[in-house]
Amino acid sequence: MRIVLLGAPGSGKGTQSQRLVERVHIPQISTGDLLRSAVARGTELGRLAREAMEGGRLVDDSLVLGMIRERVGEPDTRRGFILDGFPRNLAQAHALDHLLESLRRPLDAVVQLEVDYKELVRRLAGRRSCADCGRVFNLLTSPPGPDSTLCPKTGHPHRLVQRPDDNEATVAERLRVYDEKTRPLIDFYRARGLLQVIDAEGDVDAVTRRLAKALGEPALAKSPKKKAAAKKKAVAKKKPEARKTAAKAGRRKPAAKRTAAASVRKARAAAKVRHTARRAAAARRGKR
Ligand SMILES: [Zn+2]
């Protein structure tokens, strides 16, 4: 399963990628990690990348593609991979297409995580990170709870700050850049018959289930806990059926029949009263 996940900053792409990695056991290939690792290991591509970064230039696409080529040659990608952070624009998408085609390992699916613009802004505005250890929290979706661990760096509660990246103006700009550069990929992959769009708002588990469905991946769809809950629900559903059977067996009349019988009794009683009254009236008339 060779996958690209597309989604704006704040779409939950990182979280969903992580869940895929854990449950389907295919690696996530992050171009950011590849670059850092190549630079740290001092490989030829890493040396070139560092030169570019130190010269204040963008790292050339061909360098990144070279690193992807090396990475997808490693044995852990045999069953597939999730590409993260690449491609970000049409030129990169074309280049990636050619690379994977030449390796005879084309993409199987591209999933677009769709989240409303307002919701993206809301989510990104809630992001905070610890100034000491760097751990990322979200005041809306994953706040540091009362029982959260202390900062491993200081032994005190985490010191939450908003990164310059996450202030309102920067968020708007990041989303604008995404829309301009990355949105066109949606049409590119749709034209190749690879695109699946899923609703990525609401409950994280529900999004994971939609993602699993889009990928036709049952292993991702259900956790053991969910299965137990589903079984319980099925048993509960059976109950009205059991009641009906008992009623048929004659142990107890269903509520509707009980009501009908009662109203017949009432009507008969009323008729009797009317009948007695008529006879009394006739008797009175006869006496006159
Ligand atoms: Zn911390």
Domain boundaries, the chain: 2-118+172-221, 234-287
Q: How far is the CA of 27 from the centre of ligand 1 (A)?
A: 27
pTM of the model: 0.66
Q: How far is the CA of 131 from the centre of ligand 1 (A)?
A: 7
Q: How far is the CA of 171 from the centre of ligand 1 (A)?
A: 23
Predicted local confidence at residue 288, as pLDDT: 43
Predicted local confidence at residue 55, as pLDDT: 85
Predicted local confidence at residue 261, as pLDDT: 52
Q: For 187-211, what is each residue's pLDDT tens digit?
A: 999 999 999 999 999 888 999 999 9
The owner of tokens 């389907």 is 24
Predicted local confidence at residue 57, as pLDDT: 81
Residue 44 to residues 37, 53, 74, 114, 274, Cα–Cα distance (Å): 12, 14, 18, 38, 109
Residues of the chain with pLDDT under 50: 224, 226-227, 238-239, 241-255, 257-258, 287-288
Q: How far apart are CA 96 and CA 2, in angstroms?
A: 12
CATH of domain 2-118+172-221: 3.40.50.300
Q: How far is the CA of 116 from the centre of ligand 1 (A)?
A: 31
Predicted local confidence at residue 78, as pLDDT: 92
Residues recognised as catalytic? 13, 88, 127, 163, 174
Instruction: Please choose, from the candidates 144, 141, 145, 143, the residue with its C-alpha nearest in 3D space to the C-alpha of residue 122.
Output: 141
